[in-house]
Structure 1
């Protein structure tokens, strides 16, 4: 699979202690068994908007030629950039999913994240999308699990929701594996909503 490789970038060259420095601010990353989740910053998002080569340079990762993943639109990136103008949204937008293994943190596999900080009721919506080569391996479930855990580490979060289409069985399987339950219709025609509440946590 072809791709682009950037020089080691500041987001991923730090030791795996969970924090790196972005524009003078501490920014936590999250490690799972096979992934490193790197939160979007304005600089990273601008690089993503500039294309895979710019993103590879910024993150210091292999960025597959197939980037971006499905349903990850330029419009969504522009909305993310607008949200990140407010520092309180940091962590509540995209997280980039980089593979981890014997060769270290190496390849960009997809994105997972939120559509903004929690609303007044303490609800936050999660999204996720992986490149085809990384689907069917449990990576989306792994990323969702870590970000749900991260979200509920904030006392103001009462529920995490997700919206998907009924025919996207893999997407629904990801949610069910992580304890999400059906919650009726979504915000758009033909979409269904799933929710996990703090009260449902084991």
Structure 2
């Protein structure tokens, strides 16, 4: 089973659950309470729209416990002296890896929080998650060709451009070294 929480220096990454997504979609006044975090003014960010939320909820409902962690993740900026814990982005995998061990990631940071390296940290956390499963051998991502910031996030996390994808998207790939579990 994939871990459902991970930490980076400034972020807590929390796997989406049916309860969180149901609140986000149908009871938005309860969503920040369940999440335990403040929301940015422009939530939801980028491509993480209502259709994405509904898709993730469908996948979690259909896949049960084995689907948890293979879809949406919330990126929460840890509380500090300047701000409370705040939801700053979303990302995740497009599902479990295929038979070859390839999984696709996506990510988006709320406009209020861009330009602070949080997307880079979010992607680093997703890479850690992929490594921790022991199932992923390669990650892919497909940012828009006209989004150099998203491309830089991937490059900073060891991805390489390998060509074009559908539409105006590029294809990035990164090898994943699964975490080794100590025997003892």
Which TM-score tier does this pair reach, normalised by the shorter chain? Answer: 0.7 to 0.9
Is the contact between residue 163 and residue 172 of structure 2 (CA under 8 Å) also seen in structure 1?
yes
The change in CA–CA distance for 1:54 and 1:101 in structure 2 (over 3 A counts) is closer
Counterpart residue number, 1:12: none
> What's the counterpart of residue 196 of structure 1?
174
**TM norm structure 2:** 0.87
- Tell me which protein shows more strand as a share of its residues: 1
Unmatched tracts of structure 1, length 5 or more: 1-24
By relative contact order (CA 8 Å, sep 6+), the higher-ranking structure is: 2
SS of the residue corresponding to residue 30 of structure 1 reads strand
Aligned residue in 2 for 1:158:
137
- Pick which of 105-114 and 39-48 moved more: 105-114
Counterparts in 2 of 1:125 and 1:105: CA distance versus 1, 3 Å: farther
Rounded to whole Å, the distance in 1 between the matches of 2:60 and 2:38 is 25
Residue 118 (structure 1) aligned to one of 97, 100, 108: 97
> Structure 2: 5+ residue runs without aligned partners?
178-184
Aligned residues of 2:2 and 2:132 also touching (Cα < 8 A): no
- Partner residue, 1:48: 24
Aligned twin of 1:131: 110
The answer to whether the 8 A contact 2:59-2:67 is kept is yes
The counterpart of 2:124, out of the listed 141, 145, 155, is 145
1:57 equivalent to 2:36? Answer no
- Corresponding residue number in structure 2 for 1:74: 50
Per mean C-alpha deviation after superposition, the further-off stretch among 25-34 and 126-135 is: 25-34
Q: TM-score, normalised by structure 1?
A: 0.80
Q: What do you get for the CA RMSD once the two structures are aligned?
A: 2.0
Asked if the contact 2:3/2:132 (under 8 Å) is kept, the reply is no
1:30 CA displacement: 0.8
- The answer to whether the Cα contact below 8 Å between 2:41 and 2:112 also exists between their aligned partners in 1 is no
Of 59-68 and 162-171, deviating more is 59-68
For 2:48 and 2:42, the matched residues in 1 are separated by: 12
From 76, 79, 83, the counterpart of 1:101: 79
Counterpart Cα distance in 2 of 1:60 and 1:198: 32
Deviation at 1:108, TM superposition (A): 0.7
Q: Deviations over 1:99-123 (max 9, x none)?
A: 1132586111111211111111111
Q: Paired residue for 1:170, among 133, 141, 149?
A: 149
